[in-house]
Amino acid sequence: MAQTGGFGRRYIKAFVSGFLVAVPVTVTVLDRLAYVARVEGASMQPSLNPEGAAASDIVLLNRWSVRNYQVQRGDIVSLVSPKNPEQKIIKRVIALEGDIIKTMGYKNRYVKVPDGHFWVEGDHHGCSFDSNNFGPVSLGLVHARASHIIWPLNRWQKIEPALPKDRRPLSDWSDGSTADKDD
């Protein structure tokens, strides 16, 4: 009987010590490296949720890749909504600081994105609440970059940065170039 009690105590002690190690490691991974999230809504169709409400994509959000606010045009990012800080939204980066962008319904037809900001839009323009509604977004609101679609399994893939051809900035003042209207 004494051996059984010792085995039980050792089992509980091992479980508790494993738990005490696993919880901080898990919290650190989720806080600093990456986590998964379900994408809701139609604003990023057809890139995300191509089947609409029938099936929501689940994406891997890479926090490490945006730790220094290094985003590029075409990235799909998760950010805190500028209009509702309790909500996270997922959008595509269209323009970076210094770029001039032709807007789609914003109060100004053309906007030069200010320093420390970027321009985001949903891929499904008719169903997206994005920079065309609230303007340039502060880089400080970036939460993570979507790196992979992990569910449903038939859509498992790496998400590559891609800028819609018709939504390129008119100019990039950081390197002095201008975009051709024909390309």
List the catalytic residues: 43, 91
Write out 49-113 in H/E/C secondary structure.
Answer: CCCHHHCCCEEEEECHHHCCCCCCCCCEEEEECCCCCCCEEEEEEEEECCEEEECCCCCCCEEEC
Distances (CA, A) of 12 to 3, 15, 17, 21, 24: 14, 5, 9, 14, 19
For 151, phi and psi rounded to 5 degrees?
A: -155, 140
Give yes or no for a contact between 150 and 58, defined as CB atoms under 8 angstroms apart: yes
